[in-house]
Amino acid sequence: MWKYILIIAVIFFLLGCDNRTTDPEDANHAWLHVLYTDYLIYDEVLDETDNNQTYTLDLPDDSQIILDKFVNINHHGIPPEEIETYLSYIIWAKKADYYTQYTLGYSLDTLQINASGGFTPVISGEVCGAIYSTRHAPFRDDEFVILQDSVIVDTFTTSSNGYFNIDISFGSYQICLRENLSPQYYTDFIIDSFYDDYFAVREICPEKPNIYIYPKEKMNLDVSIIFPHGGQVTTSIPVYGDGWENLSIEPSGKINNEFPFLFYESQNPDFCQYEEGWVVAQEDLEDFFIQNLAETGFEGQEIIDFTDYWIPILTDHPYYAIYPQYKEQLSKMVELEFSVKPDNLLRLIYTVEGRQDNSLILPAPDITNFKREGFFIVEWGLIRKFEDQSIVTNFD
């Protein structure tokens, strides 16, 4: 009898010594184990603070691996009580003369890197690499084309790990997915070493951004649209050309005695946030946008212009997920530069995604109070996320 009690006590003791929790409220971390010939040589607790962090680890054979750590926060379809726990942890382990080793796990998982036998050697004398998405996952079994002066010079298909190898000379090329073989999806593909990792970013098209300009007194103004990570203006009123120059702006907002706002559309990489927003039924869209635009800082005709244009268009789905992109996100994709700096600048472009139901749970973002004071400028727009396009570029 005492023997069985002792066994049970030992089991409870061992369980009590394990600091891993399965409580969803505390499930905000994972574990990283690095093994070398089956021996644990490095371990670490991963949490949100590890996102975009790098660690260099010395191995017993005097080589090194570089551990790039990423944390993705995922809210899609997750009940509210689990939002804080739904994290994905990603490790890229890099070692000279080997392909980058990719490992993915979720909260309470153990991510394992095999530092001795888990790396795949590169092909000597050939250009090699791996292609990843902006969510840090490999492009698996995808066909890409390489172009030079708009002429296809080579093709390759990634492996199930996102790896590729090609026999090609160093130089400046362009690349795109075979399925998106069109000039607007070409991007630079710089080959200056035998191994490099690349990432794919999604292409989006902000539609009908309107820029309203309100100086305190009549002024002349130059306005430039800058794409920090590549992109182009696809249409504009008045014609953008190399920039809007010497615009005559009235305090009322009238531009060149003709236009109530500057209008443009563009094509650029997607650096939008998809963690915060709202899910709105189609029949409630007009009321939602009127209220949300007003709370954000828009007024009068600016709101009427938005709803008059977009409400008749957004009719294809019973529900819409709406993700607001403010200056923080937009500055990574499309920057606005003015020859005279405004006292206050408000930018809001909604990214909307059609849905068949309202099962998606999103935390609502904080809305900052905008001051329509001094010389101020406001911009609204919308991005419809119904089709994904991708381009590829170097990490650095």
- Residue 114: which pLDDT band, with cuts at 50, 70 and 90? very high
Q: Is 218 helix (H, G, I), strand (E, B) or coil?
A: coil
- Residue 201: which pLDDT band, with cuts at 50, 70 and 90? low
Could you please report the per-residue DSSP string of 317-360? SSEEEEEEE-HHHHHHH-EEEESS--SEEEEEEEEEEEESSS--
For the segment 127-149, the average pLDDT, to the nearest whole number, is: 86
For the segment 202-231, the average pLDDT, to the nearest whole number, is: 85
Q: Higher model confidence: residue 393 or residue 46?
A: 46
4-18, 129-143, 255-269: which has the minimum mean pLDDT?
4-18
Which pLDDT score, from 0 to 100, does residue 276 have? 92
Which pLDDT score, from 0 to 100, does residue 184 have? 56
Distance CA 235, CA 264 (A): 6
Place of tokens 């999806």: 185
The per-residue pLDDT for range 157-191, each reduced to its tens digit, is 999 899 999 999 999 998 887 876 766 567 778 89
Q: Higher model confidence: residue 38 or residue 204?
A: 38
Most confidently modeled range among 4-8, 184-188, 335-339: 335-339
For the segment 292-319, the average pLDDT, to the nearest whole number, is: 94
Upper half-sphere CA count for residue 200 (Cβ side, 13 Å): 25
For the segment 313-323, the average pLDDT, to the nearest whole number, is: 92
Q: Which of 28, 61, 55, 51 is nearest to 43 (CA)?
A: 55
Q: Higher model confidence: residue 378 or residue 84?
A: 378
Which pLDDT score, from 0 to 100, does residue 387 have? 38
Cα of 18 vs its chain's centroid, Å: 36
Most confidently modeled range among 116-130, 172-186, 219-233: 116-130
pLDDT at 99 over 80: yes
What does the chain come to in residues? 396
For the segment 348-362, the average pLDDT, to the nearest whole number, is: 91
pLDDT at 265 over 80: yes
Distance CA 260, CA 344 (A): 19
Residue 168 buriedness (CB in 10 A; 0-12 / 13-18 / 19+): middle
Provide the 8-state DSSP code for 26: G
- % of the chain at pLDDT higher than 70: 82
Which pLDDT score, from 0 to 100, does residue 19 have? 43
Phi-psi label, residue 253: left if phi above 0, alpha if psi -120 to 50, beta otherwise: left
For the segment 83-112, the average pLDDT, to the nearest whole number, is: 86
Question: Which sign does the torsion angle of CA 50, 54, 60, 61 carry?
Answer: positive
The per-residue pLDDT for range 281-298, each reduced to its tens digit, is 999 999 999 999 999 999
Q: Higher model confidence: residue 6 or residue 209?
A: 209
Most confidently modeled range among 85-94, 127-136, 263-272, 349-358: 349-358
Which pLDDT score, from 0 to 100, does residue 204 have? 58
Which pLDDT score, from 0 to 100, does residue 388 have? 36
- Residue 348: which pLDDT band, with cuts at 50, 70 and 90? very high
Q: Higher model confidence: residue 213 or residue 353?
A: 213
Average per-residue pLDDT for the chain: 84
- Residue 26: which pLDDT band, with cuts at 50, 70 and 90? low
**Do 56 and 66 meet the contact criterion of CB atoms below 8 Å apart?**
yes
Distance CA 180, CA 147 (A): 13
